[in-house]
Amino acid sequence: MVGIAILGYGVVGSGVYEVIRKNAKSITRRAGTKIDIKHILDIRDFENHSEKNLFTKNFDDILTDTDVSVVVEVMGGVNPAYEFTKRALMAKKSVVTSNKELVATHGCELLKIASENKVHYLFEASVGGGIPIIRPLKLCLAANEITEITGILNGTTNYILTKMINNNKTMSDALKRAQEKGYAEKDPAADIDGIDAARKIAILASLAFGKFVDSAKIPVAGIRNVTLTDVEYAKKLECVIKLCGHCAALENGKVDVFVSPCFVSKESPLSTVDGVFNAILVKGNAVGDALFYGKGAGKLPTASAVVSDIIEIAKSGENTFSPVWEDKGDVLENPKNSVSKHFARIKAENKNEMRDKILSIFDNAQIIDIENGEIGFVTENMTAEGFNDGIEKLNVEVISTFLVLS
């Protein structure tokens, strides 16, 4: 029997409880032992819960219970989750988490503490909700040098963009619905402004390249200013707008990472990923392209990933993994050297004049003319610095810019 304690009975915590109760038989068969919920920690009262005796407000009840060998941290946020995780690991209890903020911020240290104490720190649910991606990167694709990863990593923003594009909803209406469905973060600005996606691509990059990528240093743009006119330009270019996280290993040993709303070509499998679904496209030097797809947020999909980690621990006995990444200092490439195609919408009173000017600065730019008083264009592949210099030379008001992914 494996005794567990769940920290936090919110969307994910209640999902973990539900999945363990609902699938008890098959989970026991697959784990080779029963998963026994010993405690649930939450500051709120659950007097009407059918198993109200499981609830506690005191973390020490969990720490001192020798029957608890796995702590399931699904509280979200850094505090007090960081403190609780450290104390649990140092008490030789494995920890399973969906907390991407904590993994992205303190993952290095927590993995090291876990390894020193010969226990696990597992976080399958921290990226892509129910999509298996952490374990595949760690194990199934371990034979590969990973060259790049591009993903739609935030369910809330993908849901919002899909509703805006397909159902003409406003951003605030779509966000409200995403919150009701339990997709959004406590502070949805973390979703809208790309911070949640940055944490997730940082975790994937750290794992893929074996070195800590600091999410706080990644260049990030969110979807706050995306308009339906931007969507029209994207359509004209046979693209859809998606918030993408991207990382690539460079020949100089550095890692190029960004989060940005992108024009994604309809030829890319990422363009068809709608609603709360996420997808992660991994390029490995042996496997080629591998695409991982599924629900990126929500109660049961996230719980599915959390419980899979508990089962892995139940099956692994004393075997533990060494830390999956190390802090090797600043590994991020300077964002100004990042190479991509760029799209820009700029003010243009005299369109013919502006068209000539654009073509004189941006070689082979593709011009899109669908709105009065403005003009859009797509560049060839160029560095961010080259693009910004070109925009400065144009000396016009910029309405919006996007990266273009093929």
Catalytic center residues: 200
Q: Which lies closer to ligand HSE via its Cβ, residue 129 or residue 194?
A: 129
With vertex at residue 405, the alpha carbon angle to CA 280 and CA 354, rounded to the nearest 5 degrees, is 155
Nearer of residues 193 and 374 to ligand HSE, judged by Cβ: 193
Query: Shortest Cβ contact with ligand HSE: which residue?
Result: 156
Tell me the C-alpha distance between 27 and 21, whole Å.
9
Binding ligand HSE (rule: CB under 6 A), the pick from 156, 162, 304, 379 is 156
Which amino acid is present at 116? E
Binding range to ligand HSE, per CB under 6 A, among 55-63, 102-110, 152-160, 232-240: 152-160
Q: Does 203 bind ligand HSE (CB under 6 A)?
A: no
User: What whole-number distance in Å separates Cα of residue 280 and Cα of residue 150?
Assistant: 6
Shorter beta-carbon distance to ligand HSE: residue 245 or 323:
245
Residue with smaller CB distance to ligand HSE, 190 or 384: 190
Is residue 108 a contact partner of residue 212, using CB atoms and an 8 Å limit? Answer: yes
Among 59, 121, 123, 183, binds ligand HSE (CB under 6 A): 183
Does 196 interact with ligand HSE (rule: CB under 6 A)?
yes
Find the part of the chain contacting ligand HSE (CB under 6 A) among 183-191, 218-226, 230-238, 382-390.
183-191
Q: Which stretch binds ligand HSE (CB under 6 A): 59-67, 182-190, 245-253, 340-348?
A: 182-190
Q: Shortest Cβ distance from residue 39 to ligand HSE (Å)?
A: 24
Q: Please select the residue that binds ligand HSE; options are 191, 214, 230, 374, rule is CB under 6 A.
A: 191
Q: Applying CB under 6 A, which of residues 15, 155, 323, 376 lies at the interface with ligand HSE? A: 155
Q: Which stretch binds ligand HSE (CB under 6 A): 149-157, 224-232, 240-248, 321-329?
A: 149-157
Report if residue 296 touches ligand HSE, rule: CB under 6 A.
yes
Residues 118-137 that bind ligand HSE (CB under 6 A): 129
**Rounded to an integer, what distance in angstroms lies between the CA atom of residue 315 and that of residue 342?**
48
Instruction: Name residue 35's amino acid.
Output: I
Q: Which CB atom, from 69 or from 157, has the smaller least distance to ligand HSE?
A: 157
CB of 58 to ligand HSE, least distance (A): 28
Residue 74 or 89: which CB sits closer to ligand HSE?
74
Choose the binding region for ligand HSE from 15-23, 154-162, 240-248, 338-346 (rule: CB under 6 A).
154-162
Pairing verdict, β 339-347 and 382-383: antiparallel
CB-CB contact of 5 with 36 (8 Å): no
The residue behind tokens 């779509």 is 174
Rule CB under 6 A: is residue 184 a binding residue for ligand HSE?
yes
- Site size for ligand HSE, by CB under 6 A? 11
Rounded to the nearest 10°, the torsion over CA 389, 395, 399, 402 is -20
Residues 57-116 contacting ligand HSE, CB under 6 A: none
Which C-beta is closer to ligand HSE: that of 129 or that of 261?
Answer: 129
- Residues near ligand HSE, by CB under 6 A: 129, 154-156, 183-185, 191, 196, 296-297
